[in-house]
């Protein structure tokens, strides 16, 4: 069934808005001149969209503005990422999605029932290993450095293990404690080392074996590197490397450093490569719903931008109690539109000794707060 909103000459912005409304309403939506087309308070903004906020009465235009245009007014950091900390509106609610459901009710459309889906933990594997997966020159050089500097714990780990970043045991334990909790892992396999890409290489046996082991229990997808944006074919090369290891197509990805996250050009490149989901829709500096959605945001008919509402680094300096309370609030907000809360974190900080990282930040309270939140979820929240 298709709901038609009245417009004599719909353009690209109307098509984008129709996809958003269709996601919220659980049905096909279009703009046109059919006999049963609905009036919707058209202000004309969709005919010439811009970063200027449309009239409040034009709900459809406001939804597109909040989703695709609003963040353009925010200042950018050194990586050209919009800074949510500068937002002069609350990011704690999926306000565009809530407005879409409200518009549906105003038009007399029955909204989909609100569900309370399981939360999903999103794990960025920036560094699969601390010591392995970078070749013998790197391994030998690191061993000699630790030996000469007297870092005996690192010398022992290099010779006997365990690798301080390899956190498989922790995730298997969390899965057993919370069997209905969702997990999504994104593995960084940079084809070229750079300032922001210092992870493992796809060609090494230890890397291949570890990722195949991980895939036996969890969903694994690609964490496209910072440098992949700068090289022709960079995305395709890294996706192909992971597909060869996993022996299956890779349909999801998440950008390392959230570089170009939410940008139409990047999304189009991913869609053209056959991917179906980009899990990069997130602010780097604060928790919240970047595009005003907790559900996946449709980009075109076969590709969606998936929001992640919180990341470990957003909670540095907070107590476990504060972290758990914030996650409860975000989960309630996601459930207000029937969506799951997606919470991001990093693989290495759950390993045996994350302090092996140079200048490592202390994420101890984050681990405690995450576990506290999961432990406090009512039984039916994870069923």
Tell me if 37 is assigned to some domain. Answer: yes
Tell me if 223 is assigned to some domain. Answer: yes
Domain span holding position 100: 2-106
Question: In terms of domains, do 230 and 326 share one?
Answer: yes
Tell me the mean pLDDT in the region 337-364: 96
Tell me if 7 is assigned to some domain. Answer: yes
What pLDDT does 163 receive?
A: 97
How many beta carbons lie within 10 A of that of residue 123, not counting itself? Answer: 24
Question: In terms of domains, do 207 and 335 share one?
Answer: yes
Q: pLDDT tens across 170-226, in order?
A: 999 999 999 999 999 999 999 788 889 989 999 999 999 999 999 999 999 999 999
Q: Which of 246, 255, 245, 247 is nearest to 277 (CA)?
A: 255
Q: Which of 279, 348, 338, 336 is nearest to 312 (CA)?
A: 348
Question: In terms of domains, do 81 and 124 share one?
Answer: no
Sequence-distant (≥ 6) Cβ neighbours of residue 166 within 8 angstroms: 128, 129, 130, 210, 351, 352
At 379, the pLDDT band (50, 70, 90 cuts) reads low
Record the tokens describing residue 316, joined without a space. 């540095």
Tell me if 141 is assigned to some domain. Answer: no
Instruction: Give 141's DSSP letter.
Output: H
Tell me if 27 is assigned to some domain. Answer: yes
Q: pLDDT tens across 127-145, in order?
A: 999 999 988 888 888 889 9
How many beta carbons lie within 10 A of that of residue 44, not counting itself? Answer: 10
Question: In terms of domains, do 125 and 61 share one?
Answer: no
CA distance 200 to 165: 12
CA distance 211 to 103: 45
SS (H, E, C) 176-214: HHCCCCEEEEEECCCCCCECCECCCCCCCHHHHHHHHHH
Taking the CA atoms of residue 15, residue 17, residue 23 and residue 25 in that order, the dihedral angle to the nearest 10 degrees is -110
Question: In terms of domains, do 87 and 176 share one?
Answer: no
What pLDDT does 383 receive?
A: 42
Q: Which of 72, 106, 140 is the last residue of a domain?
A: 106
CA distance 61 to 57: 9
Question: In terms of domains, do 100 and 169 share one?
Answer: no
What pLDDT does 69 receive?
A: 98
For residue 242, is pLDDT > 90? yes
Question: In terms of domains, do 169 and 314 share one?
Answer: yes
For residue 381, is pLDDT > 60? no
Most distant pair of Cα atoms in the chain: their distance: 81
Tell me if 146 is assigned to some domain. Answer: no
Question: In terms of domains, do 308 and 347 share one?
Answer: yes
CATH number for the domain harbouring residue 350 = 3.20.20.370
At 49, the pLDDT band (50, 70, 90 cuts) reads very high
The residue behind tokens 């990011």 is 91
What pLDDT does 245 receive?
A: 98
Record the tokens describing residue 130, joined without a space. 């601390």
Question: In terms of domains, do 225 and 340 share one?
Answer: yes
Tell me if 29 is assigned to some domain. Answer: yes
Question: In terms of domains, do 275 and 193 share one?
Answer: yes
- Do residues 323 and 315 touch, judged by C-beta distance below 8 A? yes
What pLDDT does 378 receive?
A: 62
Tell me if 378 is assigned to some domain. Answer: yes
Q: What does the chain come to in residues? A: 383
Record the tokens describing residue 2, joined without a space. 């298709």
Question: In terms of domains, do 89 and 125 share one?
Answer: no
In angstroms, how far is CA 17 from the centroid of its own chain? 22
Residue 300, φ and ψ in degrees, nearest 5: -145, -170
Structural domains of the chain, count: 2
The residue behind tokens 């290099």 is 158
Instruction: Give 227's DSSP letter.
Output: G
Question: In terms of domains, do 368 and 269 share one?
Answer: yes
What pLDDT does 382 receive?
A: 47
């Amino acid at each position: 069934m298709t709901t038609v909103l009245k417009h004599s000459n719909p353009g690209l912005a109307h098509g984008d808005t129709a996809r958003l409304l269709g996601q919220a309403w659980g049905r096909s939506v279009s703009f046109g001149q059919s006999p049963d087309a609905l009036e919707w308070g058209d202000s004309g903004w969709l005919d010439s969209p811009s970063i200027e906020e449309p009239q409040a009465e034009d709900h459809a235009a406001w939804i597109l503005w909040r989703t695709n245009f609003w963040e353009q007014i925010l200042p950018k950091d050194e990586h050209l990422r919009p800074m949510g900390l500068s937002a002069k509106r609350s990011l704690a609610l999926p306000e565009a999605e809530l407005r879409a459901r409200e518009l549906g009710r105003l038009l007399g459309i029955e909204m989909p029932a609100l569900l309370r889906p399981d939360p999903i933990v999103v794990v960025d594997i920036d560094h699969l290993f601390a010591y392995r997966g970078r070749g013998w020159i790197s391994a030998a050089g690191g061993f000699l450095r630790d030996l000469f500097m007297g870092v005996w714990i690192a010398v022992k780990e290099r010779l006997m293990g365990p690798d301080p970043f390899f956190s498989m045991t922790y995730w298997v334990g969390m899965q057993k404690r919370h069997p209905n909790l969702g997990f999504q892992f994104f593995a960084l396999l940079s084809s070229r080392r750079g300032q922001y890409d210092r992870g493992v290489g796809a060609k090494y046996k230890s890397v291949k074996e570890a990722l195949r082991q991980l895939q036996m229990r969890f969903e694994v997808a690609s964490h496209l590197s910072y440098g992949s944006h700068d090289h022709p074919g960079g995305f395709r090369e890294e996706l192909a490397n992971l597909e060869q290891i996993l022996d299956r197509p890779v349909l999801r990805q998440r950008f390392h450093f959230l570089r170009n996250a939410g940008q139409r050009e990047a999304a189009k490149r991913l869609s053209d490569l056959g991917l179906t989901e980009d899990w990069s829709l997130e602010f780097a500096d604060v928790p919240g719903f970047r595009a005003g959605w907790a559900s996946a945001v449709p980009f075109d008919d076969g590709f969606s931008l998936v929001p992640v509402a919180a990341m470990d680094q957003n909670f540095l300096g907070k107590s476990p109690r504060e972290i758990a309370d914030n996650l409860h609030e975000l989960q309630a907000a996601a459930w207000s539109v029937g969506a799951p809360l997606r919470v991001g974190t990093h693989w290495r900080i759950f390993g045996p000794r994350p302090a092996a990282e140079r200048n490592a930040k202390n994420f101890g309270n984050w681990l405690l707060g995450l576990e506290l939140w999961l432990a406090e979820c009512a039984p039916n929240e994870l069923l």
